[in-house]
């Protein structure tokens, strides 16, 4: 009986806290890739290259030509809640960057071995940092190109329980590639490259054309049946993109890509609005595909729902629904190739 009372409350040390928090942000190699690609985008990069080996578990390298970090900032970036992107509560109400929590780097370095090479634009010398299990093991000046390169090795080497939940390398690599593809669609101004086990598996040209980016992602065959959805605004919600012709549906929804304010999202609401627009022109059990971009005032959407940030909450759901529906409907109506629904004789 006495012993039961012995349980004493104590605060976890910061390393344990980081390990637990890491689980929220870093689920698999693709989540590492997503966080690092988002950082590269926030850093203003125009070229981002992702290289991976063994599904990104043993090796993941993300290289950007963005603003880089100063020798003083680089080590601070790995601390928990260290961010250059928001400062005040007001900032939280209107998040304009992809990152804002200041958690990603802390989480990633807690569960892997990290090398960082970074140089600010216009600086003579760059910085190299090594970290293992969250601890800095090297911090030295280094010659490197302008921008930032992260090398993540041996993800989950110190958390075998997490490691067990990973799928086969091929599947994990597929998830990483999806992250790069979604980033290319949401940021057509950036040139993306993905190299898997030494082979080029994805390339988008950059330059700002959504059409080119979508073509890179969907490939020749699927792109053939995409029609342009010109920008359409309703209730302050702008919607545009490329959507499939009704006569060329897919058996599943994997090629439905939705973006809200430049962020890839999973949204039942957008999905329902898009599918509603095809309602009378598509067989049940088949789904339209395409890239649907939605833009609305930052104050009208909450991205602070989950650390992985693929879910969003809209303040005005009905308005978003009708805007997406109207844009899709319009695009479909303007497409000459939409076959008439045949009346049964």
**Interacting residues toward ligand ADP by CB under 6 A:** 35, 39-40, 43, 64, 66-69, 77, 82-85, 99-105, 148
- Cβ-closest position to Mg ion: 99
Longest dimension (CA), the chain: 85
CB of 235 to Mg ion, least distance (A): 31
Q: At how many degrees (to 10) do helices 210-224 and 169-186 cross?
A: 120
**Residue 95 binding target from Mg ion, ligand ADP, none, CB below 5 to 8 Å by type:** none
Question: Which chain residues interact with Mg ion by CB under 5 A?
Answer: 39, 99, 104
Q: Are 289 and 271 in contact (CB under 8 A)?
A: no
Q: Are 41 and 47 in contact (CB under 8 A)?
A: no
85 binds, among Mg ion, ligand ADP, none (CB under 5 to 8 A by kind): ligand ADP
Choosing among Mg ion, ligand ADP, none, which partner's interface includes residue 32 (Cβ < 5 to 8 Å by kind)? none
| Binding partner of 101, given Mg ion, ligand ADP, none, CB within 5-8 angstroms per partner class | ligand ADP
**Count of C-beta atoms within a 10 Å radius of residue 228:** 15
| CB of 105 or CB of 291, closer to ligand ADP | 105
Give 84 or 316: the residue with its C-beta nearer to ligand ADP. 84
In the complex, minimum distance from the CB of residue 58 to ligand ADP, in angstroms, rounded to a whole number: 21
Taking the C-alpha atoms of residue 147 and residue 151, their distance in angstroms, rounded to an integer, is 14
- The binder of 261, among ligand ADP, Mg ion, none, by C-beta within 5 to 8 A per type, is none
Min. distance of Cβ 102 from Mg ion in angstroms?
7
User: Which CB atom, from 19 or from 32, has the smaller least distance to Mg ion?
Assistant: 32
In whole angstroms, the minimum distance from the beta carbon of 129 to ligand ADP comes to 12
CB of 143 to ligand ADP, least distance (A): 18
Of all residues in this chain, which one has the CB nearest to ligand ADP in the complex?
99
Q: Which residues contact 342 (CB under 8 A, 6 or more apart)?
A: none
Query: Whose Cβ is closer to ligand ADP: residue 127's or residue 204's?
Result: 127
- Report the partner that residue 66 touches, choosing among Mg ion, ligand ADP, none (CB closer than 5 to 8 A by kind): ligand ADP
């Amino acid at each position: 009986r006495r012993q039961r009372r012995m349980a004493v409350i104590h605060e976890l040390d910061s390393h344990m806290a980081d390990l637990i928090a890491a689980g929220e942000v870093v689920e698999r190699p693709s989540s590492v890739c997503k966080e690092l690609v988002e950082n590269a985008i926030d850093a203003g990069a125009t070229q981002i290259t992702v290289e991976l080996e063994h599904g990104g578990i043993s090796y993941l390298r993300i290289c950007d030509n963005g603003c880089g970090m100063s020798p003083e900032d680089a080590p601070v970036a790995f601390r928990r809640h260290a961010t250059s992107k928001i400062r005040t509560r007001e900032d939280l109400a209107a998040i304009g960057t992809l990152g804002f929590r200041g958690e990603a780097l802390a989480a990633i370095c807690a569960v892997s071995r990290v090398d960082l090479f970074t140089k600010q634009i216009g600086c003579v010398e760059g910085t190299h940092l090594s970290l293992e299990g969250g601890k800095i093991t090297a911090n030295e000046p280094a010659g490197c190109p302008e921008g930032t390169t992260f090398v993540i090795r041996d993800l989950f080497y110190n958390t075998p329980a997490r490691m067990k939940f990973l799928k086969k390398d091929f599947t994990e690599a597929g998830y990483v590639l999806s992250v790069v593809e979604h980033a290319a669609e949401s940021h057509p101004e950036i040139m993306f490259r993905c190299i898997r086990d030494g082979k080029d598996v994805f390339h988008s040209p950059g330059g700002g054309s959504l059409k080119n980016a979508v073509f890179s992602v969907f490939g020749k065959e699927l792109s053939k049946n995409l029609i342009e959805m010109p920008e359409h605004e309703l209730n302050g919600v702008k919607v545009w993109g490329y959507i499939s012709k009704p006569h060329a549906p897919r058996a599943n929804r994997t090629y439905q890509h939705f973006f809200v304010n430049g962020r890839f999202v999973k949204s039942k609401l957008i999905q329902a609005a898009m599918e509603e627009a095809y309602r009378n022109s598509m067989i049940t059990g088949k789904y339209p595909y395409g890239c649907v971009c939605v833009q609305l005032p930052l104050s009208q959407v909450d991205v602070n729902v989950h650390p992985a940030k693929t879910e969003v909450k809209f303040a005005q759901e009905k308005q978003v629904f009708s805007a997406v529906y109207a844009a899709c409907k319009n695009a479909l109506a303007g497409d000459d190739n939409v076959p008439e629904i045949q009346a049964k004789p």
